[in-house]
Amino acid sequence: TTPEEDKVVQSLLLKLENQGWKPVPYAPGFDFRIRRLLPVEVIDVAGQAGVCELKFPEASKANGRSGQNSRYSDKLYRRLTDSRKAIFSGLVQEYLQKRWWLPTEGMNTKGNDLTANVFLLGGEEGSKRKPRLVCDFRLANASLPRVSGKVPSSWET
Sheet containing 22-23: give its strands across. 22-23, 31-36, 50-55
Q: How confident is the model at residue 110 (pLDDT cuts 50, 70, 90)?
A: low
The pLDDT assigned to 32 comes to 92
Of 33-37, 113-117, 133-137, 150-154, where does mean pLDDT reach its minimum?
A: 150-154
Mean pLDDT, residues 37-66: 75
Nearest residue to 54 (alpha-carbon basis) of 117, 143, 148: 143
Q: How confident is the model at residue 56 (pLDDT cuts 50, 70, 90)?
A: confident
The pLDDT assigned to 125 comes to 82
- CA distance linking residue 152 with residue 24, whole number of Å: 9
Let me know if 108 is exposed, middle or buried by CB neighbors in 10 A (0-12, 13-18, 19+).
exposed
pLDDT at 124 over 70: yes
Mean pLDDT, residues 127-151: 81
What pTM did the predictor assign? Answer: 0.63
- CA distance linking residue 72 with residue 76, whole number of Å: 6
Contact, 73 vs 85, CB < 8 A?
no
Decide: helix, strand or coil at residue 31.
strand
- CA distance linking residue 69 with residue 61, whole number of Å: 13
Q: Please give the mean pLDDT across all residues of the chain.
A: 82
For 1-15, the pLDDT digits (tens) are 799 998 998 888 888
Report which of residues 121 and 113 the model is more confident about.
121
Share of the chain above pLDDT 70, in %: 79
